Structure 1
Amino acid sequence: MAHEESQASSATGDDIEYGIDDKPPAGESLLLGVQHYLTMVGANIAVPLLLADAMGMPDDVTVRFIGTFFVVSGIATLAQTTLGNRYPIVQGAPFSMLAPAIAIVGVVSATGGAAWQAKLLALQGAIITAALAEVVIGYLGIVGRLRRYLSPVVIAPTIALIGLSLFGVTQIADATNWWLLGLTVLLIVGFSQYLNASHRAFRLFPVLLGMVTAWLIAATLSVAGVYTAETSGYVDLAQVADAPAVLAIYPLQWGMPEFQLSLAIGMFAGVLASIVESFGDYHAVARIAGHGAPSEKRINHGIGMEGLMNVFSGIMGTGGSTSYSENIGAIGLTGVASRYVIQIGAVAMIVVGYVGYFGQLVATIPDPIVGGLFVAMFGQIVAVGVSNLEYVDLSSSRNTFVVGFALFAGLAIPAYMGGFESAAAFREGMASVSVFEPIVGVSVLGPVLGSRLVADTLFVIGGTGMAVGGIVALVLDNTIAGTPEERGLVAWERITEDESDFRTAWERWRDTGEASEPAD
């Protein structure tokens, strides 16, 4: 096989400026790669900041902690795009693993581990152990085998909920500087939708141009004294000057991880939610880049590589790694789906992680600007999910019921879970369940539902919209009677890439070696 995914590449849509296998000029690729990473900067800074605050980490250590997240993000992205599923998806800190991470920090604090190092080392051990299970799940093909039960009726609400569940992020929900957020939205939408035909730069760099313009305005207002340190939108340039020039980031930099099975079980719930989200991301990026739906082989290698990179993130001392939906929205806005561009951006992020000045400069981007970016992009992901319904019979009441029920459940159940202060509070509530107690005279479900394994798993998965919606749609779609044509399986099969269209790193290396051997 001398070509690389040629069948899939031929499906690239007309609105894609650069397809997955395209390589733009180096300078242009650098700007495009940085633009992709700017779309996820809010989450990749928010997660370490939340964890650092929960652990009571000193400010000087927090700077290195954030830098480590960027380094891990860059290396994980290079690994996924080179050795994993080879989709142009940025890897970064997962919110799906944040809830169990904070719960683990709370458990260690309650058992006398007051020092931030003790909390972080326990967290590292839990991530490494849970991630090893993810490696097994991926490379044994467990997730890929589920693909045969996944019709567009299941995939559509799962992907849509990725975008819908993000509308409540703090950069949007807690925004107070609405004019700066609105300005960012107007700039990005203006460049990408209204001015895209007037100049190629507006088509390729709408996010970069919008964010830089808004940041320069916010920085100018901050220097002029219009914005103060208490103002949302304030840019603290002094932080950049005070940042260390080079950060010492290396494996086991915080010490040897501590391994506790009970903590790892809680973290595994976050890993499961991450797997469901990544499964939807793979379909979303394939759809938006004009490729066929991912094959079982590609899915397995993607999940397996995410597991390996989660092990790596635990060794480095961060909060995990997973595919980023924000990056997929950027592809929809810019039409740039190049794997090469993502890899160039990944290298830039590794440099940013080690150079304190650059990392701190990125950290000065105000929340209202990040919120404006999210508003402009998240709708793209929802639309990608809904577009999968073109393959199903929408005149079928069973299809509309499954999709509508899954969407509602995917929004309602996480909202219910959000009413609990923590995983521990939910665990206490589950322990008090006594459905059969009036009949049998003893609590039957309480001890089971209130156990750490069951309660923490339900809390994390129940708080993840795409996991809830995906599971609900999966069960309903495979139990309610419906023909393959009605469910979109026949049309879906026609656009799914063949197993041979994806070659693993080993297969590509082997084929290269065979091609270099002299003929007999």
Structure 2
Amino acid sequence: MSNAGDEFSDRDAGGGSDADSEVAVSEDIEYGIDDKPPLGESFVLGIQHYLTMVGANIAVPLILAGAMGMPSDVTARFVGTFFVVSGIATLAQTTFGNRYPIVQGAPFSMLAPALAIVGVVTAGGVAGQPDWQAALLQLQGAIIVAATVEVAMGYFGLVGKLRRFLSPVVVAPTIALIGLSLFSAPQITAANQSWWLLGLTLGLILLFSQYLDVRHKAFRLYPVILALVIAWVVAAALSLDVTLGPVSIDPVLGSDHPGYVPLGQVTDSRFLLPIYPFQWGVPQVTTAFVIGMFAGVLASMVESIGDYYAVANLSGSGAPSEKRMNHGIGMEGLMNVFSGIMGTSGSTSYSENIGAIGLTGVASRYVVQLGAAVMLVVGFVGYFGQLIATIPDPIVGGLFIAMFGQIVAVGISNLRHVDLDSSRNTFVIGFALFVGLAIPAYMGNFESTIAFREAVGLEGTVAALVDAIDPLLAAIGVSETAAAGPLETAAQAVVDTIYIIGSTGMAVGGLAALVLDNTIPGSREERGLAQWDRLTEDESDFDSFWDRWLGTDSSAER
């Protein structure tokens, strides 16, 4: 057991039913945050943590590559760069940042502004830059500048100040929406879904993690990797087209089947990929793109805060302190800057491996760091990226159902601290969950921020506003043409921010709950704050890298 888990249990001993439930959570952990399993076991567990998020970490670069019209040979290198950035960002966060065992990867919350930037550039919206490389350079510049603001918000302590406004009434729906946001993922709800393959993957995970976990330690520790490998081998075997002399074996699954495994793609890839800073060129900065990207950064920050609470809950640790949150968001900002330098679309905390912690009981920081080191190395190997890309969507869908269902339950479990007989609380929670699902569903009607701008009549609104203030402009000697540009840029920033945040369920629900919970009258006991104060780690419980490096380790002082 980890020290954090032990301290948490001791702190709550004798504290009633809530304390007992917290101890029970920590007892479910096979390896706590500070534990170091044997090296070989840790490598396998670390790879398992990363396998839970490979689908998403590949989906983001593939979506962007398709939107940019990127050549196939460049796309493989683009995907590899995402894994290199993910490995470095995870090592940085677990060592220098919040030190939680959370994998860092490509953010979906920043995908909407990224696609908007790509759409504008490739459509010729930026003079003389209609190709994929120009779009990527504009994307990099927007991320670097927007992330610089995130660094300042973290390390200047602005994010941590929010903690005093976060009660279980806010955190519960926010975490739940992290899981619920993927209920309609195409890997699950595609019209041509292979339900037998998805069911096989999900059934194996349930079998190993819930029914056979007491039979052997391997089933408890490796349910995800065992299920994935078995399901992939079955799908690959059914996809084989083999001819041995007079014997010919036709594939059971055709190339148009969602469970088809294209093994030929693996051998066609390059062995080593050249990945280095500014590999696509020098990033370029356009103000409108930066503003739009910052909306995506804000959405990722809300999601990350929810992730911090979720991993603390699952690992049996106290809720994150203000200091830990600041270091976490500050480091995410630094890694976003780094991702822009390397040529990807950002980096943020991933919910996938948090679900794996709940399934496996492995919350070791050391394990996640070893997995990150493996991903960092294999990101340069072309064969690896292509091999991972052969995992069929139905298998990924099975993983999603198991892991994200776990996160939904973790979010709901926070409600044990609040008074659920209070109509105030039930209204806030229900409202936050509903709008967190409904608003993103509405935003899904629009393919991009550009389509949303057209739907709200942005150009007409700006033109009408300019006409309305024309007398004022004339009085101060400013022409309509000169005023229209800045007004349109500002209006685009507002509309794009609404679209990006509105497309992110946990951002919508979390912000709704945050506002309502802090404006509707309610006692601290009613909102769960009195109980939660006792469960939140002290500021001195978190020692940053600088505290330890400079020899000011607060735990040693205690």
Q: TM-score, normalised by structure 1?
A: 0.94
Assess if the C-alpha contact under 8 Å between 2:4 and 2:33 holds in 1.
Answer: no
Q: Does the 8 Å contact 1:176/1:232 carry over to 2?
A: yes
The match for 2:20 is: none
- Determine if contact 1:429/1:450 at 8 Å carries over to the other structure: no
CA positional deviation for 1:114: 2.1
Answer yes or no: is 1:487 the counterpart of 2:504: no
- Please give the per-residue CA displacement for 1:455-498, whole angstroms capped at 9, x wherever unaligned: 11000001100000011101111111100000000001000000
What residue in structure 2 maps to residue 343 of structure 1? 369
Aligned-residue offset at 1:434: 9.7
In structure 2, how many angstroms separate the alpha carbons of the residues matched to 1:221 and 1:432? 52
Which of the numbers 421, 440, 450 marks the counterpart of 1:414?
A: 440
1:101–1:9 distance in 2 versus 1, CA, 3 Å: farther
The equivalent residue for 1:400 is 426
- Give the alignment's Cα RMSD to 1 decimal: 2.5
For the residues of structure 2 that align with 1:338 and 1:75, how far apart are their CA atoms? Answer: 18
Question: What is the 5 A alignment of 1:108-119?
Answer: 108-110=121-123, 111=125, 112-119=128-135
Unaligned runs of at least 5 residues, structure 2: 11-22, 242-250, 471-483
**For the Cα contact (< 8 Å) 2:5–2:26, is it kept in 1?**
no
TM-aligned CA deviation for residue 230 of structure 1? 1.6
Aligned pair in 2 of structure 1 residues 515, 306: CA closer, same or farther (>3 Å)? closer
Distance 1:279 1:512, change over 3 A: closer
Partner of 1:131: 147
**Corresponding position of 2:95:** 82
CA contact (8 A) 2:4 2:317 kept: no
Task: Determine the C-alpha separation between the residues in 2 that align with 1:20 and 1:131.
Answer: 28
Q: CA deviation at 1:233?
A: 1.0
Q: Is 1:60 the counterpart of 2:100 in the alignment? A: no
Matched, 1:176 2:193: yes
User: Are 1:72 and 2:85 matched, yes or no?
Assistant: yes
Q: CA deviation at 1:176?
A: 1.7
Match of 2:171 in 1: 155
The reply to whether residue 201 of structure 1 matches residue 218 of structure 2 is: yes
Work out the CA distance in 1 between the residues paired with 2:356 and 2:99: 17
Residues 262 and 21 of structure 1, relative CA distance in 2, 3 Å threshold: same
- Inter-partner Cα distance in structure 2 for 1:60 and 1:443: 53
1:357, CA displacement in angstroms? 1.4
2:459–2:488 Cα contact (<8 Å) kept: no
Q: Which amino acid aligns with 1:83?
A: F
Whether contact under 8 Å (1:5, 1:502) holds in the other structure is: no
Give the gaps of 5 or more residues in structure 1.
Answer: none
Change (3 A) 1:60 1:490: same
- Look up the match of 1:252: 278
1:7 equivalent in alignment to 2:19: no
Helix, strand or coil for the counterpart of 1:382? Answer: helix
The answer (yes or no) to whether the contact 2:541–2:555 under 8 Å persists in 1 is: no
Given the superposition, is the C-alpha separation of residues 4 and 206 from structure 1 closer, same or farther in structure 2, using an over 3 Å criterion? closer
Q: 227-236 vs 64-73, which deviates more?
A: 227-236
Shift of 1:514: 12
Corresponding residue for residue 390 of structure 1: 416
More displaced 10-residue stretch of structure 1: 323-332 or 351-360: 351-360
Give 1:422 deviation, angstroms.
1.6
List aligned pairs for 1:38-53, cutoff 5 A. Answer: 38-53=51-66
**CA distance in 2 between partners of 1:32 and 1:290 (Å):** 19
Shift of 1:507: 0.5
* Alpha-carbon shift at residue 7 of structure 1 (Å): 3.4
Provide the rounded CA distance (Å) in 2 between the counterparts of 1:412 and 1:115. Answer: 36
Aligned pairs (5 A) from 1:389-468: 389-431=415-457, 451-468=491-508
**Once the 2 structures are TM-superposed, how far is the Cα of residue 5 of structure 1 from its aligned partner?**
9.1
CA distance in 2, matches of 1:215, 1:36: 17
How far, CA to CA, are the matches of 1:470 and 1:449 in structure 2? 28
Matched, 1:478 2:494: no
CA distance in 2, matches of 1:473, 1:255: 43
Structure 1: which 4+ aligned runs deviate by more than 4 Å?
A: 3-6, 8-12, 432-435, 441-444, 446-450, 512-516
8 Å Cα contact 2:458/2:492 also seen in 1: no
- Aligned pair count? 512
What CA distance in whole angstroms lies between the structure 1 residues aligned with 2:103 and 2:227? Answer: 20
Match of 1:211 in 2: 228
Q: Distance in 1 between matches of 2:367 and 2:135?
A: 37
Correspondences of 1:27-42 after superposition (within 5 Å): 27-42=40-55
Q: CA deviation at 1:450?
A: 8.0
Q: Which residue of 2 aligns with 1:92?
A: 105
Deviation per residue, 1:324-361 (Å, 9 max, x gap): 00110000000000000000000010111011112211
- Report SS of the residue matched to 1:386: helix
CA distance in 1, matches of 2:314, 2:445: 35
The alignment-based identity, stated in percent, is 69
Name the amino acid aligned to 2:538.
Answer: D
CA contact (8 A) 2:443 2:502 kept: yes
Cα shift readout 1:188-226 (whole Å, capped 9, x = no counterpart): 111100111111100000000000000000010011511
Separation in structure 2 between the aligned mates of residue 443 and residue 54 of structure 1, nearest angstrom: 39
